[in-house]
C-alpha cells in the first residue's frame, strides 16, 4: 500500500506598492486571498503515479482512503478600520473503502460571507450568510444513538446569523448571537428549521487565568413525510441546550493547563457530558 499526504498554501494581496490613486492600488490595499489545497491518499496501486500527482491515481478503484480539500479565504476591506468583509469557500471530497465493502463517498461544499462593523472601541456588530451542501452515499459503519436514520443523504443548508460583541478589555468580551437556518434532505424529503440563541463570555480575572464560557438554545422544527428515515445528524423536533466552560491557567512561560466541561441536552431528552483536562506546551 502506498500513501501520500501533501498540501500547498498560496497568499495573494496585502500590498500597497502601486499608486494610491489607481484602481490597482486600491485592490492591492483592500483585497487579499488565501488558497489552501491538501490531499491525502492511501492506495493499493503499487505504481508511482501517486507520487507523480497524476489525477487518475486519486480516488479510484484502488483507493483505500482518499481526502481532497480546497479552501479559499477572501478579504475585501483590509484598509478600512471599522469595516470587515470576508468570503470563505470550502470544498471537501472523501472516498472511504477501509471497511472492505462498497466504498463510501461524501462531499461537502460551503460558501459563507461575514461582515463586521466596529461602531466603537467596545462594540462590534456582525452579520453572516452561509449556504452549504452535504452529500453521502454508502453505509454507516457506526451505530447512531437516537431515532432510526438513513445512511445516505443529500442535504442543502442555508444559515443567517447576527451578533454583537462587547469588549470589556483587551482580554475580556461578551458576545450574543442569534441565528436561523434551514436544512432539507433531497433523498428523504425531510425539512428542518432551526432558531438559536448563542451567548458566550471570555474573562481574565487574574494575570495567569482565563475563563471561556458559552451556551446555546436551539429550537428545531421539522416537516417529514411518513415512513422515511432522515439523515443521522437531523435531531428530532424539540429544544436542544448546550453549555461549555473552559478554564485555562498558565503554569509557566510556555506551559498551560486547560480544563473543559461541556454538556448537551438533546431534543429527545438525552444528555451528553464531557470533561477534559490537558496540558499544552507552546514553543
Establish how many alpha carbons lie within 13 A of residue 277's alpha carbon, considering only the half-sphere containing its beta carbon: 2
Q: What's the rounded Cα separation, in Å, for the pair 258 and 278?
A: 5
Q: Which pLDDT does position 144 carry in this prediction?
A: 66
> For 150-182, what is each residue's pLDDT tens digit?
889 999 999 999 999 999 888 899 999 999 999
Residue 220 near residue 204, CB atoms below 8 Å = no
Q: Output the pTM of the full model.
A: 0.83
Q: What's the rounded Cα separation, in Å, for the pair 1 and 43?
A: 6
3-state helix, strand, coil in the chain (%, to 5): 5, 65, 35
Q: What's the rounded Cα separation, in Å, for the pair 80 and 26?
A: 11
- Listed in sequence order, the residues at least 6 apart from 118 whose beta carbon sits closer than 8 Å to its beta carbon are 81, 82, 83, 84, 124
Q: Which pLDDT does position 141 carry in this prediction?
A: 67
Q: DSSP state, 205?
A: E
Mean pLDDT by 10 residues, the chain (283 residues): 88 65 74 92 83 84 91 90 93 88 90 93 94 90 73 95 92 94 95 96 88 96 92 92 93 87 93 92 77
> For 59-97, what is each residue's pLDDT tens digit?
888 888 999 999 999 999 888 888 999 999 999 999 988
Establish how many alpha carbons lie within 13 A of residue 239's alpha carbon, considering only the half-sphere containing its beta carbon: 4
Q: Which residues pair with 151 in a beta bridge?
A: none
Cα–Cα separations (whole angstroms), residue 170 to 116, 165, 253, 273: 18, 13, 20, 32
Amino acid at each position: 500500500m502506498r500513501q501520500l499526504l501533501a498540501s500547498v498554501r498560496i497568499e495573494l494581496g496585502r500590498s500597497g506598492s502601486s499608486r494610491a490613486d489607481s484602481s490597482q492600488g486600491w485592490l492591492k490595499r483592500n483585497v487579499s486571498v488565501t488558497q489552501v489545497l491538501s490531499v491525502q491518499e492511501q492506495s493499493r496501486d503499487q505504481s508511482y503515479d501517486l507520487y507523480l500527482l497524476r489525477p487518475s491515481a486519486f480516488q479510484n478503484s484502488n483507493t483505500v482512503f482518499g481526502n481532497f480539500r480546497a479552501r479559499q479565504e477572501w478579504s475585501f476591506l483590509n484598509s478600512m478600520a471599522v469595516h470587515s468583509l470576508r468570503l470563505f469557500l470550502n470544498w471537501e471530497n472523501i472516498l472511504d473503502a477501509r471497511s472492505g465493502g462498497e466504498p463510501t463517498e461524501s462531499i461537502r461544499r460551503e460558501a459563507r460571507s461575514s461582515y463586521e462593523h466596529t461602531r466603537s472601541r467596545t462594540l462590534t456588530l456582525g452579520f453572516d450568510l452561509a449556504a452549504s451542501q452535504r452529500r453521502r452515499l454508502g453505509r454507516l459503519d457506526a451505530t447512531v444513538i437516537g431515532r432510526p436514520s438513513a445512511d445516505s443523504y443529500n442535504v442543502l443548508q442555508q444559515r443567517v446569523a447576527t451578533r454583537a460583541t462587547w469588549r470589556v478589555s483587551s482580554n475580556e468580551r461578551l458576545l450574543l448571537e442569534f441565528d436561523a437556518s434551514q436544512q432539507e434532505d433531497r433523498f428523504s424529503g425531510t425539512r428542518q428549521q432551526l432558531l438559536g440563541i448563542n451567548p458566550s463570555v471570555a474573562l481574565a480575572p487574574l494575570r495567569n487565568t482565563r475563563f471561556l464560557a458559552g451556551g446555546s438554545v436551539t429550537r428545531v422544527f421539522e416537516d417529514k413525510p411518513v415512513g422515511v428515515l432522515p439523515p443521522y445528524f437531523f435531531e428530532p423536533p424539540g429544544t436542544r441546550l448546550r453549555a461549555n466552560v473552559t478554564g485555562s491557567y498558565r503554569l509557566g512561560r510556555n506551559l498551560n493547563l486547560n480544563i473543559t466541561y461541556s454538556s448537551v441536552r438533546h431534543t429527545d431528552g438525552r444528555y451528553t457530558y464531557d470533561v477534559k483536562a490537558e496540558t499544552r506546551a507552546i514553543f
